[in-house]
Structure 1
Amino acid sequence: MDIALPDPVRDEAPLLTPDMLQQLDTSGPRYTSYPTADRFVEAFGPDDYRQALRARAEGAGIGGRPPLSVYVHIPFCESVCYYCACNKVVTRHHERALDYLAALEHEMALHHQVLGAKEVVSQLHLGGGTPTFLSDDELTRLMAGLRQHFALMPGAELSIEVDPRTATPERLAHLAALGFNRLSFGVQDIDPAVQKAVHRVQPFEQIQALTASARALGFQSINVDLIYGLPKQTAESFVHTIREISGLRPDRIALYAYAHLPQRFKPQRRIVSADLPAGTERVQMLGSAIAGFLSHGYSYIGMDHFALANDSLAIAKRQGRLHRNFQGYTTQPDNDLVALGVSAIGRVGATYSQNAKTLDAYYDALRQGEFPTVRGLALSRDDLLRRAVIMALMCQGRVEFESIELAHLIDFEDYFRSELRQLAPMVGMGLVTLEPQAIQLTARGWYFVRAVAMVFDRYLQADENRGRFSRIL
């Protein structure tokens, strides 16, 4: 049967046939970076990262350096969620956070030393793991350390991921007092059977109460994370989740497809494969979720993000000012991203870097006075060119040949002759239009932007092993 996905711009519902869906439902990157993190190499180490920071410090210019974004990874969780693919440490020993905070403070000091000044920060995000694993006092200590080594500018976006099971209205009030103005609640699904199957039980009433508290406290933006394709989910049960969550009116909603990769992520081995919804039902969930969000007044931002029309993300989408970094879509310009903590991934200049993935290795590097960088990448000229094309598709849905040609000194049609030929089937499916000097995503094509971007991924085109990535539907 044909599947109807609603048009994110108009009220029409373009039909996608099963053959089209089969062609498009492949595995592929999420493109929070290009090249993607699986291309990082261990030859890039602490010295390379230090040099990237020095280059930033020396390149201030008359107008000064642009602000930084900062990401802090808090790996601890009290219990494991079976679907989780994040780097985490499951423990009930909260005292372990003290050593970690000391290490983070050491890592901040190393950055301050190399950069030579308190860098201005326009965006801070605490992720995990479970940042709210930290006590109120520990969060206070962390924020004090950040303010000691960085200058959080007035009006900066300060966001934190919140596990509703570890939060109370009093905790939210403390976060507000620390300066956080954005919250992201990890909900995933409100159906009790699904919650039990993934080992994450949190009554809807708890989420409802926390959302109301966050509103009363004046948080600028509330995000809710949802996942489709989880065990015990059905198309009918997920419609109920979409309706109830939309009724809470979070400013933003992130809808992710569950990627079942038990060979890579040990907790997923506790999920019974027979409980997972079939591919056709997953597509039905996606279609009904998109329709449900749009009918409740949400704008489709791209890939897995939705926002109310008056949210800054939706405004940026309409004005062509969207950007994308390791946290997903953002309104922030293309800033350098300093990433702190175990396994954290950052970007400085034309480099990417990742910290050690285990606490022991992370602590050991810092004890030796070194950055805990264990791998990364210095981008080539071709990497930078393709990143510009892929990010234009992911964020603006349009690539202007002339702007790429002027910035990178190439002839677009000659350089990407093969890629333009590969777009022909997508033109036939109504996903893109090829103009004389531009590539334009159609309204339908926005739903499959990952598939379009993959055409320009030189590494992926040469690699037949895509199973390590999540499916794009």
Structure 2
Amino acid sequence: MNSLIDKYNIPGPRYTSYPTVPYWDEHSFSPELWKQSVIRTFRESNADEGISIYIHLPFCEALCTFCACHKRITKQHSVEIPYLESVLKEWQLYLRMFGEKPKLKELHLGGGTPTFFSPQNLKALLEGIFETVEIAEDQEFSFEGHPNNTTREHLETLYGLGFRRVSFGVQDYDPKVQKAINRIQTFEKVKEVTEWAKEIGYRGISHDLVFGLPHQTWEAMENTIRKTMELKPDRLAFYSYAHVPWVKGVGQRGFDENDLPSGEEKRRLYEDGKKLLEELGYIEVGMDHFSLEHDDLYQSLIRKKLHRNFMGYTSSKTQLMVGLGMSAISDSWYAFAQNVKTVEEYQKMVEEGDIPVVKGHILNEEDLTVRRHILNLMCQLETTFDVHHSFPELQNAFEMLKEMEKDELVEINGTHIQITEKGRAFTRNVAMVFDLRMMRNKPETRIFSMTI
């Protein structure tokens, strides 16, 4: 396995979309085309599957120096109400496009730090949305909680509004690592909020762990995993730290790059961490994600219903995902759109009655074909190509896969590709073989994190 990681550990996308954001064709995109795409998808799918909403809540009281999310650092909570009022105004712009009441199937609060906002203000936001929608019977509502500022009132308020899933960012329990990434939180605090969530009735509790952080050792990582097992969350995300300090404003210069684990050390964190998680009863569901057997994420994998979008892996799917808030990304299946990336510009555009998108991509027929196959590989670990709906580079892609077949990462049977158990760690690499946008326009500078 070591030699395979050396061979395939290259920069590559995480494939929460295809095309990936750096390869969006912004020249052929316009807000008007985006609106047309939203209306088309809403009419096609609302009655059946409903829609998803992602709400980006960007404020954090302190900067975590490992984080690459779009955020605003402030301790001034006076920003809460004006921002949430803007989100509700943006939502009204989408409601006018729909022309009828949407059926809400999925809702996720991300950030930033959603629990920066008070329970009362979150309740006002959500009730403002809920009074305009029909809530699906099988709805999935989730939010991201910071253990240090998630109160029992947060958990109780959101549970009362239909939330059953919560994800707590843990990262690592080692004090030296926590100091380097400016994320100081004790095991006792994580235990407290996790136990509150269980007592209240949440059935989808997740912890996020990150490997490859500065000063991280296997001994510390093992301790973090074993402590996590004491709390037995339903699912886990075991992410590779994406070191992308060249991306403007991500704050990843808060430590010396020499403090990061070497390639060999990071390899051990990944391999031994994954092995330990599996020994402790967690099943690898998708790239970076593990769950216990009873969890919906695993059950959706078994039923071949697993889906991946900008929110990560989900156990259900909608064609239309509306992203609300500064920097939020929306997906109509036929198009992507991203909102402006500053709070001030976002609020100004919404106040003026404009959909606050700054860029996007309209998918052509080839994009849609490739997207479907990459999604199959990311979620089902297999896909089958129809030779009548292929693309000129398909033969070349299969030639590239032959090397992976020799390394026992994939099995090829005609036009069917199956990622093997051994190949799971290299799912991103397999998907990259079919990334036509990237193959035709190879980046001159590094724009992605390493695949492992």
TM over 0.5: yes
**Which residue of 2 is the match for residue 70 of structure 1?**
53
What is the CA-CA distance between 1:389 and the residue it aligns to? 1.2
- Residue 51 of structure 1 aligns with an amino acid whose one-letter code is Q
Please, which of 420, 430, 433 is the counterpart of residue 408 of structure 2?
430
TM-score, normalized by length of structure 2?
0.96
Cα contact 1:431–1:445 (8 A) shared by 2: yes
- Residue 277 of structure 2 aligns with an amino acid whose one-letter code is F
**Which residue of 2 is the match for residue 49 of structure 1?**
34
Cα contact 2:369–2:389 (8 A) shared by 1: no
- Show CA shifts across 1:168-208 (max 9, x none): 22332222122211100011111111111111100001101
Separation in structure 1 between the aligned mates of residue 80 and residue 267 of structure 2, nearest angstrom: 41
Please, which of 197, 218, 243 is the counterpart of residue 201 of structure 2?
218
Separation in structure 2 between the aligned mates of residue 266 and residue 329 of structure 1, nearest angstrom: 23
Please, which of 397, 401, 419 is the counterpart of residue 441 of structure 1?
419
What is the CA-CA distance between 1:437 and the residue it aligns to? 3.6
**Which residue of 2 is the match for residue 321 of structure 1?**
305
- Residue 41 of structure 2 aligns with an amino acid whose one-letter code is R
Q: Secondary structure at the match of 2:209?
A: strand
% identical equivalent positions: 38
Q: Secondary structure at the match of 1:141?
A: helix
TM-score, normalized by length of structure 1?
0.92
What is the CA-CA distance between 1:235 and the residue it aligns to? 1.4
Cα contact 1:109–1:149 (8 A) shared by 2: no
RMSD: 1.6
**Which residue of 2 is the match for residue 263 of structure 1?**
246
Cα contact 2:23–2:438 (8 A) shared by 1: no
What is the CA-CA distance between 1:39 and the residue it aligns to? 2.0
Separation in structure 2 between the aligned mates of residue 92 and residue 455 of structure 1, nearest angstrom: 45
Does 2:99 align with 1:121? no
What is the CA-CA distance between 1:65 and the residue it aligns to? 4.7
- Show CA shifts across 1:248-273 (max 9, x none): 11111011111222222441111121
Cα contact 1:227–1:257 (8 A) shared by 2: yes
- Residue 431 of structure 2 aligns with an amino acid whose one-letter code is A
- Residue 433 of structure 2 aligns with an amino acid whose one-letter code is V
What is the CA-CA distance between 1:149 and the residue it aligns to? 2.5
Separation in structure 2 between the aligned mates of residue 17 and residue 125 of structure 1, nearest angstrom: 37
Separation in structure 1 between the aligned mates of residue 205 and residue 376 of structure 2, nearest angstrom: 27
- Residue 459 of structure 1 aligns with an amino acid whose one-letter code is R
Cα contact 1:27–1:466 (8 A) shared by 2: no
**Which residue of 2 is the match for residue 290 of structure 1?**
274
* Gap regions ≥5 residues in structure 1: 1-15
Separation in structure 1 between the aligned mates of residue 202 and residue 189 of structure 2, nearest angstrom: 18
Separation in structure 2 between the aligned mates of residue 276 and residue 415 of structure 1, nearest angstrom: 38
**Which residue of 2 is the match for residue 177 of structure 1?**
160
Separation in structure 2 between the aligned mates of residue 465 and residue 230 of structure 1, nearest angstrom: 27
Does 2:117 align with 1:145? no
Does 2:334 align with 1:339? no
**Which residue of 1 is the match for residue 449 of structure 2?**
470
Separation in structure 2 between the aligned mates of residue 298 and residue 469 of structure 1, nearest angstrom: 28
- Show CA shifts across 1:30-87 (max 9, x none): 0011001122344423222221222235446xx9353101100000001110111000
- Show CA shifts across 1:5-36 (max 9, x none): xxxxxxxxxxx143x22111111000011001
Cα contact 2:119–2:153 (8 A) shared by 1: no
Please, which of 229, 251, 269 is the counterpart of residue 212 of structure 2?
229
- Residue 441 of structure 1 aligns with an amino acid whose one-letter code is I
* Gap regions ≥5 residues in structure 2: none
- Show CA shifts across 1:261-299 (max 9, x none): 222244111112121111110010001110111011111
- Residue 421 of structure 1 aligns with an amino acid whose one-letter code is E
**Which residue of 1 is the match for residue 70 of structure 2?**
87
Alignment of 1:27-38 (within 5 A): 27-38=11-22
What is the CA-CA distance between 1:212 and the residue it aligns to? 1.0
**Which residue of 2 is the match for residue 417 of structure 1?**
395
Separation in structure 2 between the aligned mates of residue 173 and residue 124 of structure 1, nearest angstrom: 17
